[in-house]
Structure formats: structure tokens, C-alpha cells
Amino acid sequence: MSARLNLLSPEVRANPYPFFAELRRTAPVSQVEPAGMWAVSRYAEALTVLKNPQLFFSAGMAALMTPPWLGRGNPSVNSILFMDPPQHGRLRALVSRAFNASALNRLEPRIRDFATSLVKALPADGGVDFVSAFALPLPASVIGELLGLDPSLHSRFKRWSNDLVSVSAVPPEDVAMQTRVRQSLDEMEHHMKEVLEDRRRQPREDMVSDLLRAQVEGERLTEEELVGFLVLLLSGGLETTMHLLAQAARVFIEEPGVLARLRAEPSRIPAFIEEVLRYEPPIHLTIRQTTQEVELGGARLPKGALVAVLLGSVNHDEAQFPQGDRFDMDQPGTQNLSFGHGIHFCLGAQLARLEARLGLEALLARFGSVERGEAPEEWSPSMMVRGLSSLPVRLREG
């Protein structure tokens, strides 16, 4: 490949997989645009990066998330996603306490209720945008419940989370967008602080109260760390799960036999969810920075290089998944990297799987087919996250 691949070009955005296959074949670790990042496209090198935070660190990303025009701190950079050992381990141990099996057990009946009432509200034999009617409100309700936020705020979550994710990509001349992003961060921070204050006064049986109680070797989370974690949960748990659910519906459209099979064998729903995650991972790339000069996959990366691990590519790597470009829920369960790997492995993976399973169970209990709607589908413009921002469908009861 002569010219550098541009991950933001319309052709790559439309269908990145043939470009990724070419990278894996000819230049598995090589510079791409934007920003001359070093793209890692094969499974083996991706594991090396994700397993070695001492060589490929995460804190370098904090500067990208706090551009000068912001004029304030970005609460999300006080979260574990942007931390490295030993600070990451200390904080992860504290927050994992609150994010455990009993937190999930508490949530399960609520998730089932949310899913059932959303499915009930879908039109019988009518057209609807699957994303706004189901794939977005389900995780929004779950995150709202998890964080104890007022349900009247749910409609703002998507804007908050979008604005937070777009901080690093706002053009310096787009003052209107900058004002909007600042306002979203202010609102988010304000509401998270209110919830914390409320739970301090009146602890409940919920995750925020657990977080306030959490202690490891006498240490507690600071106010900034608490706010940072809550903000990370909102942005990390919303769009990702939304894209997973929307992709599942897209598979039902493209491969109608799959839906009928899952209705006949609901125990296969978890395997189906794993294959949707592998085939079209909601987080398409994650970034690290080198702490020193490093040799990787035949390339020499300088100190301070930005490294983009292309999760969308490594999940299709033929060395790991022989039929990588085909959707096949019977594909033997080799580990996909959709939830990352190593110390930053997604803390919400079990929650996301649970939401997807309960959501699909409710959907399949009522509908016997999902067909493409009249309007065209739309894809998210983000580079990090790949997924549908709208998916018009026609649902048929059966």
C-alpha cells in the first residue's frame, strides 16, 4: 500500500473491512491518517499492545480530551480509562467493588421491565426507527437506573455522551460546537455531583452508594474520581450497547434464518451476541501511546507515537478467525477483542451482555421477523465507535 490509509475517508467509513484485510496482509503495523497514528491490524500485535501498559500507556490520551478551548477540566480524564499502573489498579479495585455480580443481580429485573415495556410500545407490523425506539432507550434507562439519575434526564444522555466523545475532534474555529460541548460537560458534572450529594445524605442499595462506601486498604475515591467514573459509565455504556443492539437487528434483516433459529433455540442468544460483537465491534479502535521506542510487527515505533489498535480488524484476522469476514454464530468461540483485553478490559462487559440478552429475549417473544424499512440506515460519524445511528425497520408479529 503506497499512500497512507485514511480511516476517515468516505470509502473506508462505508466499508473498512477490505482495507483492514489489505493492512493485515501488507502492512500490519503502519502509519495511517489522521494524525499519522500507527495502526495495529492483526490479533497477535493487538494483544501485545493491550497486555503491555508499561510500553503502551493510556494517560497520554488525557491531553487530547482537554483541548485549550475547553477552558475547564474534562471530568472523564479522572477515570480509569485514562490511567496506567499503579494508579489504575488502585482505582479499578475500588470501583470493581461496586460493579460486581450483586449490582448486576439488582439490575436484572429492572432491565427486563425496561425491555418488555419498550417492546410493547413498538408498532405491530409497522415501520419504526429501531435505534430511537429500542436500541438507545434500553441502555439509557439502564444507565439512568445504575447512576440513580432522574428519568427526566434520559433524553439528554445521548447529547452528553456524544459531546464528551467528540471533545478531541471539535474544530478550533467551531465556537458554537465548543459552547455546546462545554455546556454538556457542565450539566453532566452538575447532575453527577447532585446524585453523590444525595447518596451521601441518604445511602441506598445502589451502585453510587456502594461507590461511596468502597474502600481498599483504607483508601477511598476522591470526589473528582467519583465524578470521572460516573461520567465514564454514562459515555462508555450508552452508545456501545446501543450499537450492539442495532447490529443484532441488522443481522436479523440480512439473515432472516437467524431470528427463526434463535426463537427456536433461545439458549443460543449469548453465542449470537458474541458473534455480533466480533463481526461488528461497537468500539472500532482504541488508542495508546508508546513510552519508548518499540519494535512491533516488523515496524519501529518512536517514543510518544500514537498507536490505534483496530479492534474491527483484529476481530476479522484470518489467523485467529478462519472465516473472519463471514457472520457465523457457530464459529468456534475464539476470544474476540470487542471488550478490549488486559488491565482495561471492559468493566461493563457482563452488564452489556445481560442487557443485550434480555433485550433480544423480549423482542423475539413478540416479533417473528425484522425487515428493512423504507428510509436508508445511517451510520455514526465517530472514528472510534462504529455503528448505526438510525435503522428504519418493519417489524412483524408472529
Interacting residues toward ligand HEM by CB under 6 A:
80-81, 92, 232-233, 236-237, 240-241, 244, 282-283, 286, 338-340, 344, 346-348, 351-352
Strand partners, 393: 128, 372
Q: How far is CA 360 from the centre of its chain?
A: 18
Nearest approach in angstroms of CB 54 to ligand HEM is 15
For the CB of residue 225, give the shortest distance to ligand HEM in the complex, in Å: 12
Report the residue number whose CB is nearest to ligand HEM.
348
Shortest spacing between CB 351 and ligand HEM, in angstroms: 5
Q: Quote the least distance from Cβ 159 to ligand HEM, whole Å.
A: 18
- In the chain, what's the furthest Cα-to-Cα distance? 62
What's the chain's Rg over C-alpha atoms?
21
Q: Is 234 left (phi over 0), alpha (psi -120 to 50) or beta?
A: alpha
> Nearer to ligand HEM by C-beta: 29 or 207?
207
Nearer to ligand HEM, 139 or 324 (CB): 139
User: By C-beta, is 24 or 243 nearer to ligand HEM?
Assistant: 243
Question: Which residue's CB is nearer to ligand HEM, number 161 or number 178?
Answer: 161
DSSP 337-359: -TT--GGG--TTHHHHHHHHHHH
By the 8 A CB rule, do 83 and 57 touch? no
Least distance to ligand HEM, CB of residue 278, Å: 11
Q: How far is the CB of 233 from ligand HEM (least distance, A)?
A: 4
Q: Which is nearer to ligand HEM, 296 or 373 (CB)?
A: 296
**Least gap, CB of 341 to ligand HEM (angstroms):** 7
Within 13 Å of residue 393, how many CA atoms lie on the same side as its CB? 29
Could you tell me which of 95, 105, 55 has the C-alpha nearest to residue 305? 55
Smallest distance from the beta carbon of 174 to ligand HEM, in angstroms?
A: 26
The grid coordinates listed for 209 are 452508594
User: Which C-beta is closer to ligand HEM: that of 32 or that of 231?
Assistant: 231
Q: Name the residue nearer to ligand HEM (CB basis): 251 or 373.
A: 251
User: Whose Cβ is closer to ligand HEM: residue 41's or residue 241's?
Assistant: 241
Contact 351, 104 (CB under 8 A): yes
Rounded Cα–Cα distance for residues 56 and 72 (Å): 27
Q: Which triple of cell numbers denotes residue 384?
A: 472510534
Query: How do strand 367-372 and strand 378-379 relate by DSSP bridges?
Result: unpaired
List, in sequence order, every residue forming a beta bridge with 39; answer none if it has no partner. 30, 308
Torsion of CA 271, 275, 276, 280, to 10 degrees: 160
Q: By the 8 A CB rule, do 255 and 327 touch?
A: yes
